[in-house]
Amino acid sequence: MGQITLENVTKSFGDTDVIPPLNLTIEDGEFCVFVGPSGCGKSTLLRLIAGLEDLTSGTIRIDDQDASQVPPAKRGLAMVFQSYALYPHMSVRKNIAFPMRMANIPQDEQNRRIEAAAKALNLTDYLDRRPGQLSGGQRQRVAIGRAIVREPAAFLFDEPLSNLDAALRVGMRLEISELHERLKTTMIYVTHDQVEAMTMADKIVVLRAGHIEQVGSPLELYRQPNNRFVAGFIGSPKMNFVTGAEAEKLGADSIGVRPEHIDIADDGPWRGTVGIAEHLGSDTFLHVHDTGLADTLTVRAKGEVGLRHGDPVTLAPQESQVHRFDAAGARLG
């Protein structure tokens, strides 16, 4: 079990309010991702759930038990830190065994769980090494191993992949998703990378300055962003925003169209000149200038599109995919 409920949770450091009153429920077995720009309070929120920071006010419930005053070790949660936080003078085996040793779990049970975790995480050959003798990805796996053996009610990850290179990140992303499929344990995952959020999450929580901007499944957030902030944050490349006459025509202060929802069409209403074209093979992203709508419009085109720098282009937004926002940035309709 691992249902986590936050009720009117707030956190201030001295005079600065980092988390204004916040309510959130994370269901048992859910993969929940906190995403938001740097400094928005993701880590703080995770540390509040872990018990590493004291609440300023509000309640945290774990499986309907008030856990607000429970010390971190007793909450039954396991955390994987950004820096991995492995114990440098202990072997991998001892690192993984540490939480079980602290919980006085019998030795043969410890060994059984270590073997199982090592096998699942491909660490069997490294059990007798020190963390200093491992690569970044292996250290990451040890940190996850140390979390798994505790058989926690929920896993907490704080940007676990941000120290890895791009290729390894993709691999570990899959491994963590697979782990979630296998264990079916609640996972809360903090990242500022929207690709990680989109690919891994059952539920995404978009945060800005401690506020929850929107909660929903990746596709809900993609299709129905509540406001301009979420619309701009989810999706890659970013959504194009257009203000002025074109928006007023649709009765909005600003409108947003994703790059993949703009077609290159000879009879389109928008014209411009192609700037940089980013060829990714499968797709080409065109940066279109001089449209009179926005500085740059990003447009997704086919991989083999024949347009070059300086070519004129006419564009047609897919009407059903245009998002309308009011002056405050909230979604219209």
Partner 1 sequence: MATQQSRSAARLMMAPAVVLLLGWMLIPLTMTLWFSFRRYLPLRGGDLGWTGFDNYVRFFTSSAFWPSVQTTLILVGGVLVITVVLGILLALLLDQPMWGQGAVRVLVIAPFFVMPTVSALVWKNMFMDPVNGLFSHLWRAVGAEPVAFLSDVPLGSLIVIISWQWLPFATLILLTAVQSLDNEQMEAAEMDGASVLSRFRHLVLPHLSRAITIVILIQTIFLLSIFAEIFVTTGGAFDTRTLTYLIYQRVLESQNVGLGSAGGVYAIILANIVAIFLMRIVGKNLDR
Ligand X SMILES: Nc1ncnc2c1ncn2[C@@H]1O[C@H](COP(=O)(O)OP(=O)(O)OP(=O)(O)O)[C@@H](O)[C@H]1O
Binding region for ligand X (CB under 6 A): 13, 16, 18, 36, 38-44, 192
Q: In the set 9, 40, 45, 79, which binds partner 1 (CB under 8 A)?
A: 79
As a dihedral over the C-alpha atoms of residue 103, residue 47, residue 21, residue 184, rounded to 10 degrees, the angle is -60
**Residue 59 contacts by C-beta under 8 Å, 6 or more apart in sequence?**
5, 6, 7, 8, 9, 66, 68
Q: Which does 98 bind (CB under 5 to 8 A by kind): ligand X, Mg ion, partner 1, none?
A: partner 1
Token pair 């901007």 is at which residue? 213
Residues from 123 through 152 that contact partner 1 (CB under 8 A) = 146, 150
> Residue 164 CB: number of other CB atoms within 10 A?
18
Which residues sit opposite 188 in a β-bridge?
32, 156
Q: Which does 79 bind (CB under 5 to 8 A by kind): Mg ion, partner 1, ligand X, none?
A: partner 1
| Local structure of 21: helix, strand or coil | strand
- Under rule CB under 8 A, residue 13 binds partner 1: no
Which residues sit opposite 190 in a β-bridge?
34, 158
Token pair, residue 312, equals: 């004129």
Shortest distance in whole angstroms from residue 42 CB to Mg ion: 5
| Local structure of 23: helix, strand or coil | strand
Q: In the set 103, 195, 219, 330, which binds partner 1 (CB under 8 A)?
A: 103
User: Looking at this protein, which amino acid is placed at residue 296?
Assistant: T
Residues from 250 through 289 that contact Mg ion (CB under 5 A) = none
Alpha helices (H) along the chain: 42-50, 92-102, 107-120, 136-148, 166-183, 194-200, 218-223, 228-233, 245-249
Nearer to partner 1, 74 or 184 (CB): 74
Nearer to ligand X, 193 or 326 (CB): 193
Task: Count the residues of the shown chain that bind partner 1, applying the rule CB under 8 A.
Answer: 25
Nearer to partner 1, 49 or 264 (CB): 49
Nearer to ligand X, 42 or 173 (CB): 42
Token pair, residue 13, equals: 């450091």
Nearer to ligand X, 9 or 255 (CB): 9
Q: Which does 279 bind (CB under 5 to 8 A by kind): ligand X, partner 1, Mg ion, none?
A: none
CA distance 125 to 152: 25
Q: In the set 8, 57, 102, 303, which binds partner 1 (CB under 8 A)?
A: 102
User: Looking at this protein, which amino acid is placed at residue 327?
Assistant: A
In the chain, DSSP finds a helix count (H) and a strand count (E) of 9, 19
- Under rule CB under 8 A, residue 86 binds partner 1: yes
- Under rule CB under 5 A, residue 138 binds Mg ion: no
Q: Are 195 and 201 in contact (CB under 8 A)?
A: no
Shortest distance in whole angstroms from residue 52 CB to partner 1: 5
ω into residue 237 within 30 of 0, thus cis? Answer: yes
Q: Which does 39 bind (CB under 5 to 8 A by kind): Mg ion, partner 1, ligand X, none?
A: ligand X
Compose the 30-59 pattern: x for residues touching Mg ion by CB under 5 A, - for all others. Answer: -------------x----------------
Nearer to ligand X, 155 or 241 (CB): 155
Chain contacts with partner 1 (rule: CB under 8 A): 50-52, 71-74, 77-79, 81-83, 85-90, 98-99, 102-103, 146, 150
